[in-house]
Amino acid sequence: MAWQIEPINGCALVRMNTSKVNVQNAQFFGDLHAAFDRLERDFKELPVVLTGQGNAFSAGIDFQASFDIFGSGEPDRIKEWYRAYRETNLRIFAYPRPTVAAVNGHAIAGGLITALVCDFRVAARTPARFGLNEVPIGIPMPAAYVEIIKYALGERVAALTTLRGQLYDLEQAQALGFFHEVVQPDQLIATAIDYARCITPDCNVAYAMSKKALQDGVMRQIHERTVALDAQLPAGMSDPGNRRAQDQRRQEIMHKR
């Protein structure tokens, strides 16, 4: 099902609905690109608010699908997965209009990165978990994402959250600076729209140029470091220890079903 896009109060409200908890796989990537194709075609003057459904913004990568790729021992296949994943995040990160993540619930690993690539983040005051738990489950963090995390959270918090891989509750996540504001659930969308409407349409070009200038160093780092560092990802995925950690995580997921 294509993501729903609703123009509301001068914004384009995008509801991610690839799956119940928006696990990130080829279908999710396709839905994201289709949504942004439509935004650029039909709503190109509007700021964007991105939200999930139920109790999850996004639960992150689809472990079943991705672990099969990571464990394939096929470097080109692993590189292609990362290329596709990187392009989805950069599609949001570099979007020339204001982007706001209206975080309605859990945002874990890749799901949190999807929130971090937005210009602003507003979270609902609801029981949920947030964090970047890739490293403890045997997934090397790509250089491109590290640069985005540092841009959004600062180097100190980026190092803490990336390397420890801890999941945080709402209060802890807010203290670390994950969100610009936390509000009651019934105020989430309205507050996110307020953030998105930080400028009038007359100032769209000023916003786009300023955003590009702010992100210039990050984008340069991504394009320069991705070639060198991310080329090592397939070998990292094949490391026996990482494979054992991934298999353990897969078993935990299957046991919960």
DSSP string across 114-133? HHHTSSEEEEESSS--EE--
Do residues 29 and 88 lie in contact, with contact meaning Cβ atoms separated by under 8 Å?
yes
- Is 147 tagged catalytic? no
Among 40, 45, 80, 134, which one carries the catalytic annotation? 134
Which two three-digit tokens encode residue 15?
């509801």
Residue with tokens 């790509």: 142
Do residues 96 and 207 lie in contact, with contact meaning Cβ atoms separated by under 8 Å?
yes
Do residues 51 and 101 lie in contact, with contact meaning Cβ atoms separated by under 8 Å?
yes
Which two three-digit tokens encode residue 29?
């990537």
Sequence-distant (≥ 6) Cβ neighbours of residue 8 within 8 angstroms? 189, 193
Catalytic amino acids?
A: 134
